[in-house]
């Protein structure tokens, strides 16, 4: 009897699949970020609050994928792994990535619950600051993902 094993990429813990999940979560967060920013001027209406809530949740999901899945999977690689360079790069970049995580979590916590007038008045500036932090994070993550792809190429060779 021949059994076929299929891998569910959503639940896979392989590095290439984790990178794909990270990119998908990042893309979803960025789409919602831009939709939210396009609602200027912000009003305490249901659409803005609903979109902000959705964005905050996808942002946290995205933030968690890096340290809790991708970086953990890199750390679990053996010393002679083709992902060794990606692991070393992730170790060096972890601190600056953690700073962007904290900035994003601060934003998340600040906009928890109903939006008041003062919080709405600052949302545009807060989104701008968050966007700068996300740009830094993306640039750092892209370096790690490029190193993972280099490791994938070594495996395929």
pLDDT in tens, 84-102: 999 999 999 999 999 999 9
Q: How far from the centroid of its chain's Cα atoms is residue 82's Cα?
A: 24
Nearest to 101 by CA among 70, 136, 142, 69: 136
DSSP 8-state symbol, 69: I
Exposed/middle/buried for 125, CB within 10 Å: 0-12, 13-18, 19+? exposed
Superfamily of domain 15-156: Regulator of RNA polymerase sigma(70) subunit, domain 4 (1.20.120.1370)
Calculate ∠ Cα 59-63-64, nearest 5°.
Answer: 120
Tens of pLDDT, residues 9-21: 444 468 889 999 9
Q: What is the pTM assigned to this prediction?
A: 0.85
* Domain spans of the chain, in order of start: 15-156
């Amino acid at each position: 009897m021949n059994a076929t094993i299929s891998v569910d990429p959503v639940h896979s813990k392989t590095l290439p699949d984790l990178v794909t999940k990270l990119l998908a979560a990042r893309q979803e967060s960025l789409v919602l970020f831009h939709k939210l920013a396009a609602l200027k001027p912000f009003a305490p209406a249901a659409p803005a609050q609903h979109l902000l809530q959705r964005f905050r949740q996808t942002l946290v999901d995205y933030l968690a994928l890096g340290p809790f899945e991708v970086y953990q999977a890199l750390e679990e690689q053996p010393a002679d792994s083709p992902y060794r360079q990606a692991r070393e790069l992730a170790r060096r970049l972890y601190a600056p990535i953690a700073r962007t995580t904290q900035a994003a979590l601060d934003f998340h916590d600040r906009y928890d619950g109903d939006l008041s007038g003062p919080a709405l008045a600052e949302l545009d500036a807060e989104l701008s600051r968050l966007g700068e932090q996300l740009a830094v994070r993306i640039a750092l993550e892209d370096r790690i993902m490029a190193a993972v792809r280099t490791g994938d190429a070594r495996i395929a060779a």
